Chain A
Amino acid sequence: MDPASLIPSPDTIPAPWWFFEALLLLTFFVHLLFMNAMLGTAMIALVREMRGQPNDPPPCRDIANTLPYTIAFAVNFGVAPLLFLQVLYGHFIYTSSILMGVYWLSIIGLLILAYYSAYLYKMATDLPPITRKRALGTSLVLLLTIAFLFVNNITLMQTPHIWPVYFNRPDGTFLNLADPTLLSRYLHFVVASVATGGLFLAILASFRQKKGDPGAAKQLRAGMQWFTYATVVQIGTGIPFLFSMPKEVHQLFVGGALPHTTFFLVSLITAFFCLYYGNKEKVWPATFAMAATIFLMVLVRDLARQAYLAKYFHPSDLEVIPQWSPLFLFLVILVIGVAVVVYMLRLAARVPEEVR
Chain B
Amino acid sequence: MNYPVWQLDFSGGGLLIALIAILHVYISHFAIGGGLFLVLTEMKGYREGSQPILDYTRKHTKFFLLLTLVLGAITGVGIWFTIALIAPAATSILIHNFVFGWAIEWVFFLVEIVSILIYYQTFGRMERRSHLILGWLYFIFAWLSLFAINGIIGVMLTPGEWLNTGNFWDGIFNPTFWPALFFRTFLCLMLAGLYGFLTSTAIKEQELRHTMVRYCAAWLLAPFLLFLASAWWYAQSLPEGPKNWVLNLDPTLAPYLSFFMWGSPILFLGGLLMVIRLPQTAKRALAVFLLLLGIAYMGSFEYIREGSRRPFTIYGHIYANSILVKDLDAVSQKGVLASAKWVSKEITDENRLVVGRQIYNIFCGSCHSIGGPIRDIKKLSAKYTSVYVMEGEISGQGKLIGCMPPFPGTLAERNALATFLVEGLHGKKQPAAAPKLVAPPLAPLPFDPEASEYVLLAWNSLGMHSMTDADSYFSFLPPGNDLHAQLIKRGPTPEVVTDGVVLTYQVEPGYEKPADKVEFWKYLPSLYGTSKPDNIGLSDNTIAGTMSPNPESRAFVADKVPVVPYPAAGGYMPYPSFTIEARDKTTNALLASTRMIGPVSTEMGCKTCHGGGWSKEVAGISKGATEDFLTVHDRFNKTSLLAAAKAGKPLLCQSCHPDPALNAPGNPKLLNLSASIHGWHANFLTGRGAEACALCHPNNPQGNTLFLRGVHNDIGLDCTNCHGTLEDHALSLLLAEKKAGKTGADRLMKHLKPRMASSLDDIKPRTPWLNEPDCLTCHVNFSPPETVNAFNVWTKDGKELYRNRHDDSGSIHCAACHGSPHAIYPTTNPYEKERDNFGPRQYQGNPYPLGANRNCKVCHTMDMDMEMHHPNSLGMMRNTRE
Contact = CB atoms under 8 A, between A and B. Distances in A.
Interface stretch (B122-130, B328-336, B528-536, B592-600): B122-130
Given A94-B3, A115-B70, A330-B104, A323 B167 contact: yes
A94 B126 CA distance: 45
Interface residues on B, range: 35 or more
B739 interface: no
Interface in A1-31: 5-14, 20, 23
B81 A104 contact: yes
A94 B166 contact: no
Interface string B99-115: 11111101111110111
B438 interface: no
A105 B66 CA distance: 22
Interface stretch (B71-79, B309-317, B556-564): B71-79
A72 B857 CA distance: 105
Contact of B74 (A86, A101, A115, A167): A115
Interface centre among A84, A86, A99 (most CB of B within 10 A): A86
A185 to B, nearest CB: 21
Interface string A314-356: 0000000101011101100110110011001101101110011
Interface stretch (A73-81, A129-137, A175-183): A73-81
Interface string B55-85: 0000000000010011101110110111011
B6 A330 contact: no
Contacts of A321: 166
Contact of A94 (B66, B73, B92): B92
Contacts of A9: 2
Contacts of A327: 100
Contacts of A116: 66, 70
B497 interface: no
Given A75-B74, A108-B75, A344-B134, A172 B101 contact: no
B326 interface: no
A252 interface: no
A130 to B, nearest CB: 23
Interface centre among B4, B20, B91 (most CB of A within 10 A): B4
B348 interface: no
A328 B7 CA distance: 40
A166 B4 contact: yes
A317 to B, nearest CB: 14
Nearest to A342: B114
Contacts of A73: 113
Nearest to A116: B70
Given A94-B91, A116-B70, A337-B108, A6 B102 contact: no
A59 interface: no
A14 B113 contact: no
B661 interface: no
Contact of A170 (B82, B130, B361): B361
A340 B111 contact: yes
A347 B167 contact: no
A32 to B, nearest CB: 16
A141 interface: no
Given A8-B2, A330-B103, A348-B118, A83 B95 contact: yes
A227 interface: no
A105 B102 contact: no
B182 interface: no
A90 B74 contact: no
A215 to B, nearest CB: 22
B178 to A, nearest CB: 19
Given A6-B342, A351-B126, A104 B5 contact: no
Nearest to B167: A323
A352 B141 CA distance: 26
B113 A72 contact: yes
A108 B118 contact: no
Interface string A62-94: 000000010011011001100110110011001
B878 interface: no
Nearest to A328: B100
Contact of B92 (A11, A72, A337, A355): A11
A171 interface: yes
Given A11-B96, A325-B169, A98 B6 contact: yes
A95 B89 CA distance: 10
A350 B126 CA distance: 8
Contact of A90 (B92, B108, B126): B92
Contact of B88 (A20, A75, A94, A340): A94
Contact of A347 (B7, B99, B118): B118
A112 interface: yes
B3 A119 contact: no
A163 B66 CA distance: 39
A83 B101 CA distance: 11
Interface string B2-20: 1111111000000010001
A97 interface: yes
B121 interface: yes
Given A119-B66, A344-B115, A351-B125, A5 B341 contact: yes
B99 A337 contact: no
A107 interface: yes
A10 B99 CA distance: 14
A10 B110 CA distance: 29
Contacts of A107: 81
A327 B97 CA distance: 12
Contact of A325 (B2, B88, B168): B168
A60 interface: no
B344 to A, nearest CB: 8
A96 B81 CA distance: 12
A95 B3 CA distance: 6
B114 A80 contact: no
A23 B80 CA distance: 19
Given A6-B341, A86-B84, A119-B66, A76 B6 contact: no
B757 interface: no
B16 A347 contact: no
A104 B121 CA distance: 33
Contact of A351 (B66, B106, B122): B122
Contact of B95 (A90, A105, A163): A90
Given A83-B102, A341-B110, A8 B3 contact: yes
Nearest to B82: A105
A111 interface: yes
A20 B130 CA distance: 36
Given A72-B113, A83-B95, A105-B85, A347 B134 contact: yes
B161 to A, nearest CB: 14
Contact of A11 (B93, B107, B168): B93
B2 to A, nearest CB: 4
Contact of B114 (A11, A14, A108, A344): A344
A69 B118 CA distance: 10
Nearest to A336: B107
A347 B7 CA distance: 51
B133 interface: yes
Nearest to B112: A76
Contacts of A352: 125
Contacts of B6: 98, 101, 170-172
Closest 9 CB pairs of A and B: A326-B100, A108-B78, A337-B107, A11-B96, A170-B7, A94-B88, A8-B2, A101-B6, A330-B100
17 contacts: A11-B95, A11-B96, A13-B96, A14-B100, A69-B117, A72-B69, A79-B109, A98-B85, A107-B81, A108-B75, A108-B78, A108-B81, A112-B71, A119-B70, A166-B342, A170-B6, A336-B107
Interface of A: 5-14, 20, 23, 69, 72-73, 75-76, 79-80, 83-84, 86-87, 90-91, 94-95, 97-99, 101, 104-105, 107-108, 111-112, 115-116, 119, 163, 166-167, 170-172, 321, 323, 325-327, 329-330, 333-334, 336-337, 340-341, 344-345, 347-348, 350-352, 355-356
Given A87-B96, A87-B99, A170-B7, 13 more contacts: A72-B117, A83-B102, A94-B85, A95-B3, A111-B77, A116-B70, A119-B70, A321-B166, A323-B100, A330-B103, A341-B110, A348-B118, A348-B122
